[in-house]
Amino acid sequence: MRTVTAPHLGVGIGWRPEIDLTVERLPGVDFVEVVAENLHPGELPESLRLLAERGLPILPHAVSLSLGGADPVDAARVEHLAAVAETVRAPLVSDHVCFVRAGGLDAGHLMPVPRTREALEVLVANVKQAQRLLPVPLALENVAALLDWPGAELTEGQFLAELVERTDCWLLVDVANLHANARNLGTDPVEFLTAIPLERLAYVHVAGGVEREGLYHDTHAHAVQHEVLDLLGELCSRTKPPGVLLERDDEYPTDEELAAELTAIREVLS
């Protein structure tokens, strides 16, 4: 059943409509990621069609499945992700280990789940259901948190390791989120990287953020901090990641600045 190795991806950047031309002309971009909820299957933006014609892998990244939520999986959301995956002929898709909705409210954000056996049971059941509806493998990403649930029974690394063990999902490790949780919650990044099954690593996210009032905020609107690149280096000392992708979602810098951040990533990988 298990795919032995993840597809090689290289160095990529999150495609956003605001930087479509930038992404097209940035040198050395090997793959892109798109926010699945922002696309209509069957009618791709011109820029993505162009990238697809160049043979770049396009990976749909979902933000709304709420697989860590207690509510039943919303099949329509998973089917939308599946349809986007078919449209871009994606090798895999992803979402997060988080919940977005609960009690009839929508947080508009990726909220951490309690690291308890009980929450893990629900997450595993939801992930298995989503996998049945998806045409390609699913990778799940660690999120950045400002607060921690009481009563944790597992570390974040143990929680993800067990999730992989029980669902056979892939991992999307966000080293900026790992930095955020180290900073905000006291997560030990080395323990995290030791606990997770690195052979199930699909790719890595790198993003910028900012320190405010003693907390690290994962904004995707600021420059990548050197601590985040250091964590990428720590990860690379243990495994060769199949891909590394830079995420930028707001306050877009110049093309040169984005190119420099991609170069900095490549230097860590080399």
Partner 1 sequence: MTRESLALQQGELLRALLAGGQPPAGFDPERIAAQTRALLAKRRRVVAMIRPDLAEALGDRFALTFTAYAVDHPRLAGSRAREDAEAFGTWLVDQGELAAPRRSWWRRAR
Binding site for partner 1 (CB under 8 A): 69-71, 99, 101-109, 111, 113-114, 118-119, 121-122, 146-151, 213, 215, 217, 250
* Least separation in angstroms between CB 219 and partner 1: 9
* Least separation in angstroms between CB 78 and partner 1: 15
Distance CA 95, CA 33 (A): 12
First to last CA, the chain: 32
* Least separation in angstroms between CB 44 and partner 1: 21
Nearer to partner 1 by Cβ, of 52 and 70: the residue is 70
Nearer to partner 1 by Cβ, of 69 and 241: the residue is 69
Nearer to partner 1 by Cβ, of 108 and 135: the residue is 108
Q: How many CB atoms lie within 10 A of CB 96?
A: 27
Q: What share of the chain is helix, strand, coil (3-state, %, to 5)?
A: 40, 20, 40
* Least separation in angstroms between CB 119 and partner 1: 6
Please state whether beta strands 31-35 and 10-14 pair in parallel, antiparallel, or not at all (unpaired).
parallel
* Least separation in angstroms between CB 126 and partner 1: 10
Length of the chain: 270
Nearer to partner 1 by Cβ, of 27 and 104: the residue is 104
Nearer to partner 1 by Cβ, of 83 and 236: the residue is 83
Distance CA 134, CA 221 (A): 31
The H or E element spanning position 139 is strand 138-141
CB 182 within 8 A of CB 217: no
Nearer to partner 1 by Cβ, of 190 and 215: the residue is 215
Give DSSP secondary structure letters for 144-189: P-SS--SS--S-HHHHHHHHHHHH--EEEEEHHHHHHHHHHH---H
- Helix 255-269, helix 226-236: angle, nearest 10: 30
Nearer to partner 1 by Cβ, of 151 and 233: the residue is 151
* Least separation in angstroms between CB 254 and partner 1: 21
* Least separation in angstroms between CB 235 and partner 1: 26
Any idea of the CA torsion for 268, 216, 161, 129, to the nearest 10 degrees? -110
